[in-house]
Amino acid sequence: MSAALAAWAVASAGLAPHAIADDAPLKQWYLDAMHAEDLWKVSTGVGIKVAVVDTGVNADTPSLKGQVLSQEVPAAAAYGATKDYDGHGTTMAEMIAGTGRGGGIKGLAPGAKVIPLRITLSTLKDPAELKLTKLPAEAIRAAADSGAKIINMSFAAHTKDPGLEDAVKYAVSKGKLMFAGTGNDGEEDNGLLEFPAALPGVVGVAAADAKGAVGKFSHSGDSVDLAAPGLNVSRWCNAEFQAYCTADGTSAASAIASASAALIWSAHPTWTADQVLRTMIDTAGRSWDKNTPSKYLGYGLIRPRLVLEKADINPGPADVDPLAQENGGSSAPPATPAAPSSSPPAKGDAAAKGEDTGGGKDGGSTPWVVGGVLAGLVVIGGGAFAVLRTRRRGV
């Protein structure tokens, strides 16, 4: 096993345990914030398969029974794809497609199905298990050859394993839409690129809180394309599956972005990956110019409701990458959907990074929900040139 593999880590930060009990409700504030009940009246993700490339997926949790397609990739069973050695992959699967049965996490796209693919991350120590798992590149290729339309990769590292970039290119050629957490070392090694999020063809997702502010830990820079809920959420504490913990991380943000894409693709099954992503970008909550994405939250907070509520929304060209400019190419002008609710003035970098700005009318962050209408407007402006990122470099 290569030394580089040890650097691959799940993109979840700190944990605080709480048992599954009536007096310890799951932290799923994002379902209310994103108006999940309204979303599900239009789409639950039926017909969409999401590959979860992670620590494995336990298909026997109450929330995942009947949701995991363990035989979709025949070889996956041979390397234990339904044996989760950490609890992380199962959490991501539940956040995407969990039914919520048995007091478990309910996914944002409960009508979708999950294809499990297990890779070696830093939490795997058992030598026997290490021999059974796959390199990320191998798993991505397997996902690309499967029936999954979306590939979720809630892991990150500063280095690329051999074949990773080629595997991503292969998945793009197969029409897959890929999401990855941007990483959780924003306060330490923020100057370093995180893979696979930094690769062209992968949508890097930053983590935001209930007020729409990015977490201090959330990696910023060129690889951030969108932002999604990722703070104060629940995850399985470990592979024992006895309790959920409260956690922060871009892992959750990636999973929720994947689920959002599943909702949209299910409602518009003839669209391509480019069209699904374009509508997510166009409807994202932001208070800055779309042509100058933020290094903290990219094009803004995902708001699938604004796509689903407009049945005749124009998704733009089917074969033009909406992130082509980011990835060193050129792109046609994107379609412009109906304008969301008006944005308040942007505030400052402190709020954007989740810091205390002193409260009051102008302190803190704009919440996801304003007056019953999902807004998701991010307070990140202030000195605008200080927060705008450079274009993604070729990697």
Contact, 212 vs 223, CB < 8 A?
A: no
- What does DSSP assign to residue 7? G
> Angle CA(337)–CA(281)–CA(355) in degrees, nearest 5?
125
d(CA 305, CA 352): 23
Catalytic residue chosen out of the listed positions 12, 54, 63, 84: 54
Peptide bond into 344 cis (omega under 30): no
88 carries an active-site annotation: yes
Please give the torsion angle defined by the CA atoms of residues 98, 43, 115 and 18, in that order, rounded to the nearest 10 degrees: -20
54 carries an active-site annotation: yes
Closest CA to 295 of 348, 220, 186: 220
35 carries an active-site annotation: no
**H or E segment and range at residue 151:** strand 150-153
User: Distances in Å between the alpha carbon of 381 and those of 219, 339, 342, 385, 388?
Assistant: 18, 20, 16, 9, 9
Catalytic residue chosen out of the listed positions 251, 258, 260, 287: 251
User: Distances in Å between the alpha carbon of 325 and those of 178, 250, 306, 322, 334?
Assistant: 17, 24, 24, 8, 12
Q: Which residues pair with 369 in a beta bridge?
A: 374
Q: Which residues pair with 157 in a beta bridge?
A: 195
d(CA 206, CA 251): 9
Rg (the chain; Cα; Å): 19
d(CA 376, CA 142): 35
Catalytic residue chosen out of the listed positions 88, 268, 287, 321: 88
Question: What sign does the CA torsion over 50, 89, 180, 167 have?
Answer: negative
d(CA 245, CA 247): 6
- Catalytic positions are 54, 88, 251
